[in-house]
A and B are shown apart, each in its own frame.
Chain A
Amino acid sequence: MIRIELAQERVRNGDRVSGRAVWSAGGELAQTFEVVCGWRVEGRAGRRESIIGRVQADAGARSEIVLPFEFEIPMAGPLSYGGKLFRITWEVDAGAGRDLEAKPFTVVARKWDPKEWVEEEEEE
């Protein structure tokens, strides 16, 4: 069984989403316990996923693993969105063997600071 605990369910782009994922073996066998953070676009055009980060731990012979995570949401986003043709969903997924669990969270716009976006353009 997998349980995902998020420290915050609303995160601003450029900030970090953190928490921990707990896997209890309960008779199931797994080699690794992995936590992935990403977003997906789904709608009229189909479905596409993008992963921004992952952490993993060897399960070995352990019966329980607690895996803390912290992922940085890119400044460029995208933000969570529900539109007419598509929607964008952010999620932390955890998996060990056949056990899978997903926890959605919301990415909202960060506070406007013109300097940040000048720097972003220069980097591009």
Chain B
Amino acid sequence: MNITNDEGPVLGSGWIHMFSTLLLVVSWFFGFKLLRGDPRLAVALLAGGAIPAALTVLQLMRLRRSLGRAELEMKDAVIPLGWNGSVTYVRPLRGATLRSIEARLQCEERASKGSAKQRKEWTELVLDEPVTPQSSPMLQQLRVQIPLRIPPTAPPSLFEPDARIVWWVRLRLRMAGCPDTRSSFRVQVVPAVVER
């Protein structure tokens, strides 16, 4: 059995983490600079900037308490083009319950140019298909079967320095008893095709 780890974003769309961190950094930078000149404004900035970050951390803690780390179980480490089968999403449950789950199979092209600060990156979805997951009710574990079908004419995974093709299984979980969450798993599709 091959296990793939979750690449998230665990909370919201991922912008929430980034926005709250950015706000914290900017407000604290100016807050500490203003501390001698205008202490009241400085304290307001320091406190205001910390609130979204603190809320994000609290949400993450609630999520981690109610849900363990997600994993994707696959029979093999790689799958071919034209493959038809299922993978299993497994996650420990601690008091929370699943209200609904959406899953998608996505194939993403990534192109990049330059390095470090000059780096530019482009992303395009070349395939985006909804799949119908089937969850079996369990008390302490979330176990969801996800049927996948890789089109035989689709491109396989590619890992070149400036050109990549990444296959994803993405899930969106609406929960009761903890914040909603998302999961993303890379799937390696090899350049071989199942011929029938």
Interface residues of A (CB under 8 A from B): 13, 41, 43-46, 48, 75-79, 81, 83-86, 88, 108-114, 116-117, 121
B82 located at the interface, meaning its Cβ lies under 8 Å from any Cβ of chain A in the complex: yes
| Residues of the A chain whose Cβ atoms lie less than 8 Å from the Cβ of B16 | none
Give me the interface of B with A, judged by CB distance under 8 Å: 76-78, 80-83, 109-113, 122, 124, 126, 152, 155-156, 158, 160-163, 165, 190-195
B interface, over-half SS:
strand
Q: Once bound together, how far apart are the Cα atoms of A27 and B163, in whole Å?
A: 43
Contact of A83 with B109 at beta-carbon distance under 8 Å, contacts A77-B191, A112-B80 already known: yes
Contact between chains at B111 and A45 (CB < 8 Å): yes
Task: Give the Cβ gap from B85 to chain A, nearest Cβ, in Å.
Answer: 12
Could you list some 29 contacts between A and B, CB below 8 A?
A13-B191, A13-B192, A41-B162, A44-B111, A44-B113, A45-B122, A46-B113, A48-B160, A77-B156, A77-B158, A79-B156, A81-B155, A83-B124, A83-B155, A84-B124, A84-B126, A85-B111, A85-B122, A85-B163, A88-B163, A110-B193, A111-B193, A111-B195, A112-B192, A112-B193, A112-B194, A114-B76, A116-B192, A121-B77
Shortest CB-to-CB span from B158 to chain A, Å, is 6
A79 touching B122, Cβ below 8 Å: no
Instruction: For the complex formed, measure the closest distance between the CB of B69 and the CB atoms of chain A, giving whole angstroms.
Output: 24
A110-B191 in contact given A46-B162, A84-B124, A85-B122 (Cβ < 8 Å): yes
Contact, CB under 8 Å: A85 / B192: no
Whole-angstrom distance from the CB of A118 to the nearest CB of chain B?
8
What residues of chain A lie closer than 8 Å to B81, measured between beta carbons? 109, 112
Chain A residues with CB below 8 A from B113, complex form: 44-46
Which residues of A lie under 8 Å from residue B109 when comparing CB positions? 83-86
Question: Smallest CB-CB separation from B194: which chain A residue?
Answer: A112
A124 to chain B, nearest CB (A): 11
Which residues on the B side are within 8 Å of A41 (C-beta)?
160, 162-163
